[in-house]
């Protein structure tokens, strides 16, 4: 089966350096197709062209380039599942709420351990939310207005995939107050997330059931694929933390975005040096096909 290696670089010089390193490693010269001049290109490879995937990683990992190696078949995905915090948006909403409560250092330390996979997500979520008891609903609005920003390329990624017929779902271990707004802002078809419980306009310190964690995200991918009548190989999932691991492993294209090592090791591809439009190049979309969505 033919495979394609996609390179996405932050500069023309970085793309040129990656290409030179690959030419030295490959036994034969492949067909190269430009996706954006000086930024992204496809290398079409027969299996026997490769020195081995492990060797390919040794060549590319030290370089400032993002890449994906995958079969040509089913390359353009019909389903996108995306994490929200530190993936589609630039912050962790719970940590930002903690800042308003004067407890950011305490809560951020728990978040970091949970994202590295050192703590069970569900209990880590409950323990952090308990520390926010009494915070006003008005603070949620202030946090969204003042702190929540889409990561570069997020809206272009979602709008472009939707334009070409994909269903796009925001699947978050964060909170519905934020996911509902980010869903609209980024252009997702739907959102799945946790609920902060309120009483008299203030957080009670509890989370609604069921909690959306690693298993729930994977279950949502399975359910969405069944509803669309597609196989998981036709889905793409993207996230940054340990609670994204199951859906990343299941998806045909699983992308680790600025991710913790525990997730990067499982992913088909990583975005570390460029922005979220790299996920479009990985699917073979040329720059001229990107939909800005303004």
Q: Are strands 40-45 and 3-8 parallel, antiparallel or unpaired?
A: antiparallel
Q: What are phi and psi of 80, to 5 degrees?
A: -120, 125
* Contact (Cβ atoms closer than 8 angstroms) between residue 189 and residue 102: no
* Contact (Cβ atoms closer than 8 angstroms) between residue 85 and residue 174: yes
The answer to whether residue 189 is catalytic is no
Distance CA 257, CA 241 (A): 9
Distance CA 8, CA 226 (A): 32
Q: Which residue among the candidates 42, 83, 95, 240 is catalytic per the annotation? A: 83
Element (H, E) at 67: strand 66-71
Half-sphere exposure of 28 (CA within 13 A, CB side): 9
Helix, strand, or coil (residue 58): helix
- Given the structure tokens 């996706």, which residue do they identify? 35
Cis status, amide bond into 44, omega within 30 of 0: no
Give the chain's length.
294
Distance CA 115, CA 219 (A): 19
Q: Which residue among the candidates 85, 95, 240, 244 is catalytic per the annotation? A: 85
* Burial of 215 per CB tally in 10 Å (0-12, 13-18, 19+): middle
The answer to whether residue 275 is catalytic is no
Catalytic residues: 83, 85
């Amino acid at each position: 089966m033919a495979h394609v290696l996609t390179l996405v670089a932050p500069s023309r010089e970085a793309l040129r350096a990656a290409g030179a390193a690959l030419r030295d490693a490959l036994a034969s010269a492949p067909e190269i197709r430009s996706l954006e001049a000086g930024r992204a290109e496809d290398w079409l490879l027969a299996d026997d062209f490769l020195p081995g995937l492990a060797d390919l990683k040794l060549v590319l990992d030290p370089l400032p380039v993002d890449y994906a190696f995958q079969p040509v078949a089913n390359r353009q995905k019909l389903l996108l599942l995306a994490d929200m915090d530190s993936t589609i948006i630039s912050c962790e909403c719970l940590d930002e709420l903690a800042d308003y409560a004067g407890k950011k250092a305490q809560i951020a330390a728990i978040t970091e351990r949970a994202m590295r996979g050192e703590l069970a997500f569900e209990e880590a979520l409950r323990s952090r939310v308990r520390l926010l008891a009494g915070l006003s609903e008005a603070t949620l609005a202030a946090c969204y207005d003042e702190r929540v920003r889409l990561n570069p390329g997020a809206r272009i990624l979602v709008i472009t995939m939707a334009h070409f017929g994909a269903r796009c779902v925001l699947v978050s271990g964060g909170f519905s107050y934020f996911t509902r707004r980010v869903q609209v802002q980024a252009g997702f078809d739907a959102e799945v997330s946790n609920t902060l419980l309120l009483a008299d306009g203030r957080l009670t310190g509890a989370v609604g059931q069921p909690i959306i964690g690693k298993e729930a995200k994977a279950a949502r991918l399975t359910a969405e694929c069944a509803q669309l009548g597609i196989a998981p190989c036709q889905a793409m999932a993207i996230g940054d933390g340990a609670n994204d691991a199951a859906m990343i492993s299941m998806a045909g294209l699983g992308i680790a975005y600025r991710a913790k090592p525990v997730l990067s090791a499982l992913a088909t591809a990583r975005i570390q040096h460029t922005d979220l439009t790299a996920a479009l190049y990985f699917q073979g979309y040329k720059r001229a096909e990107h939909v800005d969505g303004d």
